[in-house]
Amino acid sequence: MTPVAPQQLPVAASTRGGAPSDVPGLPPEQVFTALGSSARGLTSARASTDLAHYGPNELPASAGRGLWRRLLSQFTDLFAVVLLIASGITFLAYGLQEPRDEGTLQLAFAIAAVVLLNAVIGFTQEYSAERTAESLQAMVPRTCTVLRDGERAVLPVRELVPGDLLVLEAGDAVPADCRLVEARAVALNNAALTGESEPARRTADAVPPGPLLQARNCLFMGTDVVAGAGKAVAFATGSATEFGRIFKMTARAPRQRTPLQVQVAVMARRVASAALVIGALLFAIRIPSGQPVVASFVFALGVMVALVPEGLPATLSVSLAIGVRRMARRHALVKKLLAVEALGSTTVICTDKTGTLTQAEMTVTRLWARGAWHEVSGVGYEPAGTVADPGPVRELLRVAALCCDARLLPPDERGGRRVLGDTTEGALLVAAAKAGVDIAGEEQRAPRVMEFPFDSDRKLMTTVHALADGDSVVCVKGASQELLARCTHVDGEGGPEPLTTATRSTVIEANDAMAAQGLRVLGVARRALPPGQVAGSQEETEAHLVFLGLAGMQDPPRPEVTDAVASCRRAGIRIVMVTGDHPLTAEAVARRVGIVRDPAPTVVTGTDLDAMDTAALRDLLGRPAELLLCRVSPEHKMRAVAALQELGQVVAVTGDGANDAPALKHADIGVAMGAGGTDVAREAAEMVLLDDSFASIAAAVRLGRSVYRNIRKFLIYLFSHNIAELVPILVATFVGFPLVPITAVQILAIDLGSDVLPALALGAEPPEPDVMDRPPRPRREPLFSAAVVRRFLFLGSIQAVGVCAVFFWHIGSAGIPYADFTTDNPVYREAITMVQAGIVVSQFFNAQAVRTDRESVFRIGLWSNPALIAAGLLGVAIMAAISYVPFLQAVFHTAPLDAADWAVLVAFGALLLAAEELRKWWLRRFRPPAAAPLAKGARR
Residues marked active site are found at: 352
Amino acid at 21: S
| CA pair distance 929, 940, nearest whole angstrom | 17
Angle of helix 293-307 relative to helix 694-735, nearest 10 degrees? Answer: 150
* Cross-strand partners of 104: none
Cβ neighbours around 582 below 10 Å, total: 16
Q: Residue 432: exposed, middle, or buried by beta-carbon count in 10 A (0-12, 13-18, 19+)?
A: buried
Q: In what order do the strands lie in the sheet with 627-630?
A: 332-334, 687-689, 669-673, 651-655, 348-351, 574-578, 627-630, 602-605
Alpha helix positions (H), 145-258: 191-194, 242-252
Question: Smallest Cα–Cα separation from 149: which of 164, 132, 137, 138?
Answer: 164
| CA pair distance 689, 671, nearest whole angstrom | 7
Q: Residue 896: exposed, middle, or buried by beta-carbon count in 10 A (0-12, 13-18, 19+)?
A: middle
CA angle, 240 as apex, 235 and 244 as ends, to 5°? 125
| CA pair distance 853, 677, nearest whole angstrom | 40
Question: Smallest Cα–Cα separation from 320: which of 583, 623, 714, 604?
Answer: 714
Q: Residue 413: exposed, middle, or buried by beta-carbon count in 10 A (0-12, 13-18, 19+)?
A: exposed
Say if residues 601 and 628 touch (Cβ distance below 8 Å).
Answer: yes
Amino acid at 531: P
CA angle, 750 as apex, 744 and 755 as ends, to 5°? 145
Give the three-state DSSP class for 456: coil
| CA pair distance 716, 758, nearest whole angstrom | 12
CA dihedral (211, 217, 220, 226) positive or negative? positive
| CA pair distance 422, 404, nearest whole angstrom | 9
Backbone angles phi, psi at 679, to 5 degrees: -65, -30
Question: Smallest Cα–Cα separation from 22: which of 241, 232, 208?
Answer: 208
Say if residues 25 and 211 touch (Cβ distance below 8 Å).
Answer: no
